[in-house]
Amino acid sequence: MSKKVDNKIYHIYLKDKCLYHSLSEESFQEHWAMLCNMIELLSNGYSKEDLSYTAVNLPKKEEVCSSSY
């Protein structure tokens, strides 16, 4: 029996610089929330509009749970 796994990864950018790459959904949510809060709190010349991200769908992989020949 095999089961297909859908993989999605995220990259977070500040302007044109990649801050984090290849994040899982869970890590992305945590990092995105942290960065949005930090930008609001710090007077660093950046705004929320300077943050962006891309979500990349990776090819589906098959996990083989058991095989018989």
33: CB partners within 8 A, 6+ apart? none
Residue segments in the chain with a per-residue pLDDT below the cut of 70: 1-6, 61-69
Q: What is the pLDDT of residue 64?
A: 44
Q: What is the pLDDT of residue 28?
A: 98
Q: What is the pLDDT of residue 29?
A: 97
Q: What is the pLDDT of residue 7?
A: 85
pTM value is 0.74
